[in-house]
Structure 1
Amino acid sequence: MTTPRIPFDIIDTANGTAVRTSDGVFLRLTGSPIPVWQLHALAGGRDVALDAAGQASWQRVHSAVTTRHEHDAAPTWPTPKSRVLIVCTEPALAHLAADLAELGADVRSLDVTGVYDSVDLGSVIEITQALTEFRPALVIWLAGGLPPRALWDNLDTLPFRGVAWLRVHREGSQLWVDPLSLDMTDPSSAQVMKRRLAASGTAEELASWLEARTNVPTAMSDLAGRMVGLRLLDMAQAWAFDAERLRIYRTRAWQFNARSLRASEHTVLAYPEPAPLP
């Protein structure tokens, strides 16, 4: 008798034979007529001749192990949130698209490298077409340098249109992940920057540096990219499945130093924009 291979271990203990499932749960086999050596063979997917009692016992074991194995698998990505648009100009984070696709998301990637010197018309058209034609539920911008301010200010309206908006940019070795924006109660990219300036002891210098846009791009290591990628994957999963931790991701900016590999979190809350002057 052979069955599909489901990973589990057979252990002979003082309490009798037990099975350890792939998720670390131990199941005691009380009164099983199958010898341990045959269970090992079955666990390895090999053919074993069993009598009627052995077959019935093995079916119960296999059913229990299979149920736990399938329950332990990653849940199916929700269809209403399946489409994710990634704008990536950070090579160390290029793997995020494939990682999200492996989790079940329908991912489209754009590489608009021209947006950093100037907001070229071709990049704007490409992004606009992707938003219109692909109709993403989540837009992730992975900027390898300073954020393209004009474009980000425009994309800050995405949450008002029911599209989640996740922003990442890098300032030398410092990488910033903004809070995830889902609606008007979440901080925009402009508000995050204003909060940073308000909290900075060198606000004048920071503002001047950002205005001058003299950021010199440096390569980020693959290890740093993987560490940041895990944070972004968890944020996307929390959004897709409405997990409890999503509340935290909507109110915390995350700073990561790509050289020291150390991270810190900073609370950022949205605030009502002042009315324009008459």
Structure 2
Amino acid sequence: MGTAIDSFDVAGRSTIRSGDGAFFHLPPSAGSGQNLVTGISDELLQRRQAGARPLAGRERIGLVAPEPVAAALLPVFHEAGVDLTAGDDRERGSVGLLLHLAATPAERNRFEALPGGRAAVLRFYGEGDLVFVDPLSLEPADPTGWQVLRRRLAASPAAAELRAWLDTPAAAADFAPQGVAMDLLTARLLTIITAWQRNSPSLAAHRRTLWRLDTLTLAASEHPVLPFPEPASLGEGLRAPLP
């Protein structure tokens, strides 16, 4: 099936508008009629589909998340044409990108060794009614989970309280956004992943942006996060020293 197009005249020139908003002037020799419109529609669709194909090595996405979250994400990703597979995280080396739901604050650095060699990592997690999507990590120099947390603590007027709360059981509560909130989160994840698959111009911004969603009010915001050199390993757990 071809993509929808509109055909009209501009200053006496036959003009078409494709479904994605591009305009084309047809030469006088192009002719007219339904066959021409159908042919152009099919050609435009083929061009758009070719531009939407993932680059080599970026076709497969792995998912590490509890079963309820995986069950919610898988059909939507498949409908969007994204090859998302949930399974044992030991198979993560066979995918180009790992989508990771960090179930607890201590898990946010779980896959930080992957970027740069084995797979990119896109991490998301919940904190009460809030959902966060960390910057996409492609290289070791990209912001890590701990660096994101440090930036948040540095910018927070309640840094001591936030850090103390993250050590409580409430910070590891089940991740369960519903309805429109889940739709917004899924759309954000898909936006980042498809930008990575196609190496879109927006990719650079996704590597330096923390996304925050209030699942109650549906207010979303973006916050810049820049990487910085690590002076030493933080060790395991949130109780490792933070500057």
Category of TM-score, reference length = shorter chain = 0.7 to 0.9
Q: Percent identity?
A: 30
1:153 and 2:109 are equivalent in the alignment: yes
In the alignment, which of 64, 89, 114 is matched to residue 127 of structure 1? 89
> CA distance change for structure 1 residues 137 and 18 in 2, over 3 Å: closer, same or farther?
closer
1:204 and 2:160 are equivalent in the alignment: yes
CA distance in 2, matches of 1:21, 1:191: 44
Query: Which residue is equivalent to 2:85?
Result: 108
Higher RCO (CA-CA < 8 Å; seq separation 6+): 2
How far apart are residue 104 of structure 1 and its match?
Answer: 4.1
How far apart are residue 87 of structure 1 and its match?
Answer: 1.4
Partner deviation per Cα, 1:120-155 (whole Å, 9 max, x = no partner)? xxxxxx322x225xx111001134x534x1x44331
Aligned residues: 230
Q: Is the 8 A contact 2:13 2:25 kept in 1?
A: no
Partner deviation per Cα, 1:46-94 (whole Å, 9 max, x = no partner)? xxxxxxxxxxxx3x44332322232234621223111210112384674
Letter of the aligned partner of 1:64 in structure 2? I
How far apart are residue 172 of structure 1 and its match?
Answer: 1.2
* Gap regions ≥5 residues in structure 1: 43-57, 111-125
* Structure having the higher Rg: 1
Secondary structure in 2 matching 1:170: strand
How far apart are residue 196 of structure 1 and its match?
Answer: 1.5
Query: Which residue is equivalent to 1:88?
Result: 65
* Gap regions ≥5 residues in structure 2: 234-243
Query: Which residue is equivalent to 1:226?
Result: 183
1:240 and 2:185 are equivalent in the alignment: no
Q: Provide the TM-score with structure 2 as the length reference.
A: 0.78
Q: Provide the TM-score with structure 1 as the length reference.
A: 0.69
1:48-197 to 2 correspondences below 5 Å? 58=35, 60-73=36-49, 75-89=52-66, 91=68, 94-110=71-87, 126-128=88-90, 130-132=91-93, 135-143=94-102, 145-147=103-105, 149=106, 151-197=107-153
Q: Is the 8 A contact 1:172 1:217 kept in 2?
A: no
CA distance in 1, matches of 2:2, 2:201: 35
The CA RMSD over aligned residues, in Å, is 3.2
> CA distance change for structure 1 residues 218 and 61 in 2, over 3 Å: closer, same or farther?
closer
